[in-house]
Structures are given as structure tokens and as C-alpha cells.
Structure 1
């Protein structure tokens, strides 16, 4: 592998843009299901934003791969479980309980039975829409220690073949071709390897190809989603998968773009980018609470802006700022700060 080492500021830049993208996805969530109920121009706003941000969660996985798979220290199982795994597992368990309690609230007050049923079902079903991420992300922590020694002894060409095989799997997964190996843990592990691969090399020569591939797929995703909706008269998530070739290439584009332009942005934007990057997991965990009244369409938050093209971006910016402020404050509270790492 090449020894080129880009500035680590770009990883915080990736965390920052991925955090913003996640919020956008959750802000537009209710609107994408309204095909045929709102003007097509407004519905296309949600599809455009959605297509341009679906890379967010995969990029978070790529960041983990870039950092954890590059760790050259001798593996210490106790340290890894207590410091690495617990840093994610404890917030996940705590917020599962918190969001379970929130589900108990309705217009008639709070129901302990509803909250309890939701919590009991959490072994299979996330209690809130954004917590699905942890069900697939936490198992990757058991894959990472196994990948590290394997990748160390593989040649660059062998790694390329491994990534090519993974890209093939993401392609057939998108085409709904069933195969026993196309499991979540395999498909998501590929993002770890891709992140490590791109992190440890100079990708400037391939930048234009990533951009062409990524932008092309964003356009295809928009047009394809619109075309399916015209045929079925409803929204389809066919082009919006996290484990499909289109999202892989868009995510790769975002990764190398941030890697390439980070040195130019660091001097002017280091403080805000590093702040959002530092609290990105906390923002991820807390922001859906802020969106509870927003996503209730009867409250008219989207309509207030006149167009979804403006509403989605404006609401996302405000949500980011408030979530960041809350996370920053709560992170200063002993014990509570362990829930917002």
C-alpha cells in the first residue's frame, strides 16, 4: 500500500458533512411518501435531497475502517472491548431506553405499557428510526480485529481484488439476485475495507473518476426514483439502499473529495468542522427528538417555508445547530457525557 498520509482533518470534515446529510435524510423522511399528494416539483425536492445524501451512514462506516483498521498497535482484547466497543454500545443501550420511554407519549398522555412493549421488541426492532444503524454497526466491531491482520499481509493487488469482489456483491444485491454471502455483515464490512484502502493512499489521480461515477449515480437515482413513482404511483426506495453499488460509488466520491479539499478548507473552517465532527455521534443520537414536532405534517413546519426546496435545507440547518448546542451542553454533565461520546 502507498504510504501517503492525508491530514486527519478530512476525517472530521467527513463526519461533519455526513452528520448534516443524516439530518437531511430524517427531515425529508415524511415528505418522500407523498407522491401524488403534493406537486411533483415539491416531491422531486425530497427525492433530490434524498439521492444526494444516502451515502451518510456508509461514510461513517468508512471512517471507522480508515481509523481502526489502520491501528498498528498490538491488539489488546480487554482494551478494545472496554474502550472501543463500549463507547458505542453504552450510548446505544441508553438511548434505546430513552426513546422507548418517548414512544409511550401520545395525545392521551404517557403509557408505560406502550413504552415497555417497545423496549421488549428492541431485540429485533429499533425503537426509533435512526437506531437501526447500531444493529448493523456494532457487529462490525467484532469483524475489525479479524480484518486487521489479514489486510496487513495482503498485497495492494489482492486488496483491489477483495474490493472488486465486494463491489460485485453490492451490484447483485441491488439487482435483487439472492446469494448466501450477501449478508449485512459482509456488505457493510466492505465499507470498512474501502475506507481503510482510500485512507492509506493518494487518490488524487482517481478523483475525477470518482466524481464522474458519483455524480452520474446521483442523477440516475433521481431519475430512476421518479420513473418508478410514475409507474407505481408511489415512492420506491430501490435506488436508496445503503448496500448497493450506487451508494458505494457516491460514498467513495464524498470520501475522496473531502480528502482532496480538506487541506484548502482547514485553515478557514477548522473550528466549526472539528466541533461538529467531535460531537457527531451525540448529534446523531439526539436530533430525532427535535424532529418529532417537525415530522408531524399537520404542524405545518414544511409549509411555512413555501417550498420543500427551502424547507428541507433550512430545517436541517436549524436542527443541526440546536442538536449541536444540546450535545455540547450535555457532554459537560458527568455520567450523561457517556451517553453522548
Structure 2
């Protein structure tokens, strides 16, 4: 039993580290996405390849939380003690940095207003979103335990179909908004990824030939990533400028690639149990890496020029991502040696 738990823990940590690196690679790739030039295809390629990063984080959350039994007060105390300090600390950190860069928030109450009104830096949206998601988890957990496998599958089919609709509606220029007309909004949103994660994990564990299942998921992940890339190119060409419609975390190709990417990373994690110690140490830093990497990316981009459009993005993007990830990891590991910082990283 202890071996099974150790393998599960390492697999989850591997998926978390993989998703974290994908976030860094995505944001590096996005730097030069907004302009059609000779480097744009590299940005589109790496961006499409990493769009499943946030869904993987949410799917991991679903695996870890939906099957667990605990009272609502205990759940809220644990979860919000984990997410609210980082949200406050990193928001103030980036507000201070923005002030250093010349942005002015004014009096102290404007700082509070800015903090309450949304992320002061774009990537912190996830910390705000997870607050609302956590509020729904106790109820989603009840649904998970009370439903049969066929009912879970039915829910996920409805959810995936509804999630795909806004992308299809925009891409095909359909005027009717069926989500609003028929009240399908109930099935819409990122919270469905938690349910999907728990379901996909069960499917993985029950599959008799995990090796074949892993290779099939790897092939499908690459296929759906390529479809995201091609669809982004086609829609951007039609629009006359780079468009991110098919990059949305709820778009159909991203949703499909996220399932496959989760299975691939989880499968890798089950085979590297001998490295469980180092993997766990890096996984413990992923929240901090997520929060600090934009700061590191901006400093490194200015210092090294790796994100300049004059360089070949095909090698500059992954090299920059590796450097940003490594520097962010080193900074967070150093910060976590100081006890107070353990609560915000």
C-alpha cells in the first residue's frame, strides 16, 4: 500500500512540475506572438503545445480533492490558508514592482481597491480563479460521490460540448448564443476540469495495458496540439492579425490535449519513483515558480535579449524557458529556507 501511495504521489508531483514548466514555456512563447513575422510560427508552435498547462493543474486538484472526505469547515480552512497568503503577497509584490516601473496607484486605499478588483499582473488571474473554484469543490465532491460512472460520463459530455460552443460559435460566425438561450451556462467553466481530472485518473488506473494507453495519449496530445496550431493560423489569417481564440483553456482542441497531456505526465511519474525525492522538492516550489516567473522573465529578457525578434525563436523560446524556470526554481528554493516564505510559495 505504501508503494502505491508513493507512486501516486510521485506521479502527481511529476504532472505538477510538467504543467509548471509548460506555463513558463507558454509565457515565453507568447512574447512575440502578437505580430506576424518570420518568428511567429515558432511562437504559435510552442504556445499550442503548452496550452494544456492550466487544465492539468485543475485536473490534479480534482484528483486530489474530489475523492477526499472531510468536513466543509476543515476543507475551507486548509484550502484558503494555502491560496490567500500567496494571492496577497504576490499581488503586493507585483504592485510594488509596477510602482518601481513607473505605474502609480496613489493612496493606500487605491492599492486595496486594485487588489480586490482583479489581478495586478495578468498571470495572477489563476490565484483569483482558484478562490471561486474552491468555494464550489465541497458541492462538486458530493456530486462525485453520489453519481455512477455512466452519470459522470454524461456530465462530462455535456460540459465538454458546452465548453466547445463559444469557440465554434466565434470561429463559424454563428449569431445564436445557445448557451444563454437554453441556460446551458450551468455546465460551463473551468471547474469542470476538476471533475474531468478525477474521471481521467480513474480511467488511467483501470486500463489494462498502460504502456499502450500512454503511447496513444502521447500521439493524441501531439495531434490535438497541432490542430490547435493550425486552427490558430487559419483563424488569424482570416482575421488579418494573430488571434488566440483556439488557445482558450475551454476550446475543444485544448480540452482534448489536456486529457492526453495529463495521462502522459502521470504515466511518466509512475516510472520515476526512484527520483521521488528531487521531484517532490521541485513540485513543492511550483506555486512559487508560477508566481515569480513573470518577474524573472522580464528581467532575463531585458538582460539577455533572448526574447528579441531578431533571434531564432525556434531555439530562443525553449532556451529562455529553461533558464527562467531554473532561475525561478533557485529563487523559490532560497526563499523557502526562510519559514514565513513557505506560506506564500
TM range (shorter): 0.7 to 0.9
Cα deviation for residue 304 of structure 1 reads: 9.2
Q: SS where residue 229 of structure 1 aligns? A: helix
CA contact 2:10–2:272 (8 Å) conserved in 1: no
Q: Show the counterpart of 1:179.
A: 179
CA contact 2:13–2:269 (8 Å) conserved in 1: no
2:221 aligned with 1:219: no
2:336 aligned with 1:331: yes
Q: Show the counterpart of 1:142.
A: 135
Q: Show the counterpart of 2:174.
A: none
Question: What is the TM-score normalised by the length of structure 1?
Answer: 0.87
Q: Show the counterpart of 2:72.
A: 77
2:197 aligned with 1:195: yes
2:231 aligned with 1:236: no
Cα deviation for residue 115 of structure 1 reads: 8.7
CA contact 2:159–2:187 (8 Å) conserved in 1: no
Q: Show the counterpart of 2:291.
A: 285
Q: SS where residue 8 of structure 2 aligns? A: coil
Aligned-partner Cα distance in 1 for 2:108–2:93: 10
CA contact 1:103–1:115 (8 Å) conserved in 2: no
Deviating beyond 6 angstroms after TM superposition, the runs of 4 or more aligned structure 1 residues are none
Alignment of 1:41-56 (within 5 A): 42-56=39-53
Q: Show the counterpart of 1:311.
A: 316
Cα deviation for residue 27 of structure 1 reads: 1.3
Consecutive unaligned residues in structure 2, runs of 5 or more: 170-176
- 1:175-207 Cα offsets, whole Å, 9 max, x none, are 234514565994212100011112234243755
Cα deviation for residue 127 of structure 1 reads: 0.3
Question: What is the TM-score normalised by the length of structure 2?
Answer: 0.86
CA contact 1:9–1:266 (8 Å) conserved in 2: yes
Aligned-partner Cα distance in 2 for 1:116–1:311: 42
CA contact 2:45–2:229 (8 Å) conserved in 1: yes
CA contact 1:66–1:196 (8 Å) conserved in 2: yes
Work out the number of aligned pairs and report it: 327
